[in-house]
Structure 1
Amino acid sequence: MNPAYHSLLEYTQRMNRVLEHIDRHLDQPLELAELAELAHFSPWHFHRLFTAWVGETLGDYLRRRRLACAAYRLASHPETSILEVALDVGFNSAEAFSRAFKQHFSVTPSNWRNTEPKRWHRRLSDIRERRLRELSNPDQTHIPAFDDPDAFIHLKELTMKVTIKELPPVRVAYLRYVGPYGPDIGIFLRQTVFPWMVENGLLGRVRYGIGRDDPYVTPPEKCRYDACIEVPADFKAQAPATVITLPGGLYAITHYRGKGPDIADTWTELCRDWLPRSGMQPDSRPAFERYPVDAKYDLQTGELECEVCIPVKAL
């Protein structure tokens, strides 16, 4: 292997290890020296490498990730005070958090909390109307879904079925895609992930897809998607793959079958509609799409099936 290419793969593995650690500890102090040691670089080299690799300084990256998590919590948990949200994502005070939030999102945390659920409702209404058009008249341009009693009955029939299930921890290896969610992920899977699976003898195993970022609050070019495959205990990851353990625990699970890009609607319904009404809340474990060994995929139509899983706990 070309030495320069081998070095690049090694750096990829080290940086992914750091980003994993950051995601798990956003509510705690994260010091440069600690992260540099995790990556096996000196602090001086690590800071420069991180900026070159991620496209933003460590401080900017931490701030953006913490604010993205806070944005979701503000909208989904109106009973939680702004100070509690600030502390949960690693800020020392509500004042510092509010300044950073307004600078990033151009609105105060209070305004975001008041307006973001309305945007969620509009997105959910769009999804429901689109599905009703598919069921009734594909040429119809508008259905007054929340004014028409008959339409409302149909909407109730369209409500997703969700089960709560305990999943065991699982060891996976993953390859990471960075960029806009959408068709490019399919290209990444076909051209990069599946050849890698063949090369490593990993066909016929359960797969997972982890969207690490909320595309509604994260710049498209910074969104991360991890394509994961279950691996045995003795599997040794070679860069650019990284091995992690997906934690076990309680998950809300719904079955999805449809075109790849349309799965975003199911995520929106599960996180923005079902979860706030469920009496449960998400925790810090990653949400993912789970693709069982017998999950179907149609190369001609692009239709696939999987389980959409979000980690939950009692309020």
Structure 2
Amino acid sequence: MKPSDSNRVHSLAYAQRMNKVLDHIDRHLDQALDLPVLAEVAHFSAFHFHRLFAAWTGETLGDYLRRRRLEVAAVHLANNPRRPVLDVALAVGFGSGEAFARAFKLRFGCTPSAWREQTPQRWADELQAVRAVARDSNLGQADSKPGQAASGPFNHPENSSNQEPSMEVKLNTLPGARVAYLRHTGPYGPSVGRFWAETFFPWRAAQGLGHAPCYGIGHDDPSVGDPAKFRYDACVEVPADYVAKSPAGITDLPGGRYAVAAFYGTGADISLAWTEFLRDWLPASGLEPDGRPCYEYYPADGRYDPATGAFECQLCLPVRAR
């Protein structure tokens, strides 16, 4: 093995172990996350772990924990309007409402209550901005490739620029799934599509999993946080005895009640679809999301049009009654 190949193997192994730590943190934000415990999760010595974590993430462990707790809290405050602020603070690991309020204002420039009150206007602004980008993108595609404009569910001829598209959503009880994943870190959008095509699909084929259903999991709300730190997992369903090798990780997607929206369109369309789902459909549904991850489900026999790049999937949003 060449030295460069050896370095790459070691780097991927480190990424696998560090991603395991980040997953553990997200699942245990309400608990004390001490350095020795997290070092054990990564199978590093506590003496070296803090320096390795900072080098890999670009943040100290303390800064990372504070950021994740506040970003998750911001999402909970927006999505669960009836949940007391103190409950949100405790759920992400703050010991008191006062400490949470101070940290939140330092991070977001307003109190938790003000953030919640501003949510409807913030979401309306986000919807308007995303729709404008989608309209401009579709016009550009139509000009450059006549007859091959994006063919997503929000671009039918009957959907004019002054007519809001509708979304057909069903409430289903979905089974859980065991998946292997590769993680992309960085902004959502075109780079995620390239990650699927250039990294994930070749890896999946090499694992002999080319005919298994796939899932896509975005761990971060695009309206909160730094896009450079967003995490997206491209996943494939695996049997119970599957053993993940570097750089892949293993996780279990929980089953339960989900709101499910059928999607057929391009990579450019799916951002608008998720924004419509979360910012438009959800607030009017009488439901609220719970702590399970949202994900895209790609059936093994899903449609794909190589001429337009349009594909089929289901957008799955975990919900519960308010």
Tell me the TM-score normalized by structure 1: 0.88
Alignment check: 8 A CA contact 1:174 1:242 kept: yes
Q: Give 1:77 deviation, angstroms.
A: 2.5
SS at structure 2 position matched to 1:227: strand
Mapped partners of 1:214, 1:59: distance in 2: 21
Residues 97-112 of structure 1 mapped to structure 2, 5 A cutoff:
97-112=100-115
Q: Can you give the 5+ residue segments of structure 1 that lack an aligned partner in the other structure?
A: 140-150
Mapped partners of 2:264, 2:171: distance in 1: 19
The one-character-per-residue Cα deviations of 1:72-128 (angstroms, maximum 9, x if unpaired) are: 222233322222221121111111111111111122222222223202012334556
Letter in 2 for 1:277: A
The partner residue of 2:42 within 31, 39, 42 is: 39
Mapped partners of 1:159, 1:48: distance in 2: 50
Alignment check: 8 A CA contact 2:79 2:289 kept: no
Q: Give 1:26 deviation, angstroms.
A: 1.4
Tell me the TM-score normalized by structure 2: 0.86
The partner residue of 2:209 within 187, 202, 215 is: 202
Mapped partners of 2:130, 2:246: distance in 1: 40
The one-character-per-residue Cα deviations of 1:156-203 (angstroms, maximum 9, x if unpaired) are: xx3211111111111111000001111011111111111111111111
Alignment correspondent of 1:51: 54
Alignment correspondent of 1:232: 239
Alignment correspondent of 1:147: none
Residues 133-212 of structure 1 mapped to structure 2, 5 A cutoff:
154-155=163-164, 158-212=165-219
Mapped partners of 2:226, 2:132: distance in 1: 27
The partner residue of 1:21 within 24, 33, 36 is: 24
Alignment correspondent of 1:274: 281
Question: 1:199/1:130 Cα in 2 relative to 1: closer, same or farther (>3 Å)?
Answer: closer
Question: 1:105/1:153 Cα in 2 relative to 1: closer, same or farther (>3 Å)?
Answer: closer
Alignment check: 8 A CA contact 1:78 1:113 kept: yes
2:310 is the alignment partner of 1:303: yes
The partner residue of 2:252 within 241, 245, 267 is: 245
Task: Tell which deviates more after alignment, 271-280 or 199-208.
Answer: 271-280
CA RMSD after TM alignment: 2.5
Mapped partners of 1:236, 1:88: distance in 2: 32
Mapped partners of 1:50, 1:217: distance in 2: 23
Question: 1:96/1:202 Cα in 2 relative to 1: closer, same or farther (>3 Å)?
Answer: same
The partner residue of 1:6 within 5, 9, 12 is: 9
Mapped partners of 1:186, 1:132: distance in 2: 20
Mapped partners of 1:76, 1:211: distance in 2: 16
Identity of aligned residues (%): 55
Q: Give 1:58 deviation, angstroms.
A: 1.2
Residues 62-77 of structure 1 mapped to structure 2, 5 A cutoff:
62-77=65-80
SS at structure 1 position matched to 2:83: coil
Alignment check: 8 A CA contact 2:134 2:268 kept: no
Number of aligned positions between the proteins: 301
Mapped partners of 1:247, 1:26: distance in 2: 18
Q: Give 1:263 deviation, angstroms.
A: 1.0
Higher relative contact order structure (alpha carbons within 8 Å, sequence separation ≥ 6):
2
SS at structure 1 position matched to 2:217: strand
